[in-house]
Chain A
Amino acid sequence: MSAFFVVLFAFLAGVEGILDEFQFHQPIVAASLIGLANGHLMEGVVLGGTLQLIALGWFNVGAAVAPDAALASVVSAYLVTGPAQVDVHTGIAVAIPLAVAGQVLTIFVRTLTVALAHTADRYAEKGSLRGVEFVHVAALIIQGLRIAIPTMIVMAVGAGPVRDALGAIPKVITGGLGVAGGFIVVVGYGMVISMMATPQLWPFFFLGFALSAVTQLNLIAMGIIGVVIALLYLQLSPEFNGRGGGSSNGGSSNGGDPIDDILNNY
């Protein structure tokens, strides 16, 4: 029964790995679901949280394909919460090569789908709406199988061999992987930052860093501070208020620059 749900959740993760809509492929969701299916929900949640931080910057932009969170979370969560009962550190270390494997698989499927798109063209020539729909759904199912089949293979190999193989790794390696697991999240942050960073935005990064390094404020408080700063910036920046004037900004009804107003009142 649990095997059925593991495969089902693996399939959903595969589908979402391409769709990016419901987020069944995000580690925090996928690993929790696999944990639930195996009856070890809490291990799944904790593993999912850890992997989520690593995968923070894994997203597809344009035609570029990011490391695949789906295969990484599903198989890693199966090893940690399933019969193999691998520890979380090893689970994380295993997840990274799996992310590469998943990336290669999705590139393969995306190439294969070119042929399906041509099949859809032929249905279009006949004016067959159902035919076009069918081809689209078929492509989606292949993306689901992309994760479901490798998961079934790992399940078929069984807990024993997997555990033996992982147990054969020397202590220095596992300990080192555990240590590295603590700081590889930096790559995820780096990927997000390198996508957004502009000279205007860097000060906000350092503000957040300093506040976080020396205070005990929790993430909710930090989030509130972040939103407030963003809103203040939008209200005060001449970039958004100086010209045009008519932009309907709830706060300033006169449409002018608040700093100008203050200066004028002096």
Chain B
Amino acid sequence: MADKEKKLTKRDLIAVWWRSFFLQGSWNYERMQNLGWAYAMIPAIRRLYKTKEERVEALKRHLEFFNTHPYLASPILGVELALEEQRANGADITDETINGVKVGMMGPLAGVGDPVFWATIRPVLGAFCASLALAQNVLAPIIFFVVWNAIRMGFLWYTQSFGYKQGVNITQDLSGGMLPKITQGASILGMFVLGVLVPRWTTMNFVLEVSKVKNQAANVVDLNKLTDAANNGKLHVDQVRNVIDQVVAGKTVDTFKITTLQDTLNSLLPGLAPLLLLFIVLWLLKRKVNPIWIIFGLFIVGILGFWAGILG
């Protein structure tokens, strides 16, 4: 039995990859992703260990505490698969090594996954597709779903294979400059796009009138003659043409020139109010105010502003 080398098949690796999609299914407050991790490792355990004792040990090993970014678990899974394979073939790899690699990798990798996937790729893709959705484009959810899953599934497979091939070396490889670079590049794109979104996708309209000036009669198009003619049924083409000419010449149709607070703000810089609001929100978040309370607070601001006729 000992002379036949135990090897994970391609099918096993694919099975582990598929199961890694369900890593967080049994997320719990005690050992977090532990059960999901064991679930993902089971195809390998089934292949490598045949006796009951070996399986009990392997399961226990992989039911220890584990928590990282769900996608960055894949390179760790790859490394652990390589370690388990060597161990099953008699290499001197202890439980401590297997656990140490897991725990050692999960922290730094989670630190990359959160800013790259949650804070950059998903908001950027989400905002892009949301803009399509608001323009009534049915493709929006489809693009979001397909692009995201193509990136995700590709990333999971690639990093798991990479980890499996590299074995333990991966830990050094990853800290060697690639990861900080990816994180920084993604964060730049993310911050830039957020800057773009603030004035574009925030609607704050201050309808409060700051001034109401009567326009000079000479600059106002005289619509009375036109209405009279229309009411008497004697409307002539030339009258309509005359009005259009006046409008084209730059005359206004309103008797009063109304300037709202929003017009004043826009003349400074469009999007200024949302920017200020954003900084208030950032300040509150920094003071550890629960975001949900901030949202409720803004609802109250909206209701009061609407009631007072300031916002509309």
Contact = CB atoms under 8 A, between A and B. Distances in A.
Interface of A: 15, 18-23, 26, 28-29, 32-33, 41-42, 45-46, 48-50, 52-53, 55-57, 59, 61-63, 67, 93, 96, 99-100, 103, 110-111, 113-114, 116-117, 120-121, 123-127, 129, 132-133, 135-137, 139-140, 143, 172-173, 175-187, 189-198, 201-202, 204-214, 219-220, 222-223, 225-227, 229-231, 233-234, 237, 239-240, 244, 247
Given A179-B303, A226-B193, 20 more contacts: A19-B21, A19-B23, A100-B292, A110-B28, A120-B26, A172-B303, A172-B306, A176-B303, A177-B302, A180-B299, A182-B204, A186-B202, A186-B298, A192-B190, A195-B118, A201-B188, A205-B192, A209-B271, A226-B192, A230-B189
B24 A19 contact: yes
A49 B131 contact: yes
Contacts of B31: 117
B191 A197 contact: yes
B55 A205 contact: no
A113 to B, nearest CB: 4
B185 A234 contact: yes
A181 to B, nearest CB: 8
Contacts of B286: 194
A208 to B, nearest CB: 3
Nearest to B273: A183
B197 A189 contact: yes
Contacts of B201: 53, 185
Q: What are the 3 A-B residue pairs with the smallest beta carbon separation, nearest first?
A: A180-B302, A208-B195, A49-B133
A163 B221 CA distance: 47
Interface stretch (B139-147, B211-219, B231-239, B246-254): B139-147
A57 B193 CA distance: 13
Contacts of A125: 56
A192 to B, nearest CB: 5
B126 interface: yes
Query: Interface SS of chain B: helix, strand, loop or mixed?
Result: helix
A209 B199 contact: yes
Interface of B: 21-32, 34-36, 38-39, 42, 45-46, 52-53, 55-56, 59-60, 63, 67, 70, 110, 114-115, 118-120, 122-124, 126-134, 136-138, 140-141, 144-145, 148-149, 152, 176-178, 180-181, 184-205, 269-271, 274-275, 277-278, 281-282, 285-286, 291-292, 294-296, 298-299, 301-307, 311-312
B181 A240 contact: yes
Looking at B126, B185, B301, which has the most chain A CB atoms within 10 Å of its CB? Answer: B126
A126 B110 CA distance: 33
A88 B203 CA distance: 15
Nearest to A193: B194
Contacts of B176: 247
B42 to A, nearest CB: 5
B141 A140 contact: no
Given A49-B132, A180-B299, A182-B204, A208 B24 contact: no
Query: Interface SS of chain A: helix, strand, loop or mixed?
Result: helix
A187 B191 contact: no
Contact of A133 (B42, B181, B299): B42
Contacts of A123: 59
Contacts of A208: 191-196
Looking at A18, A129, A190, which has the most chain B CB atoms within 10 Å of its CB? Answer: A190
A186 B281 contact: yes
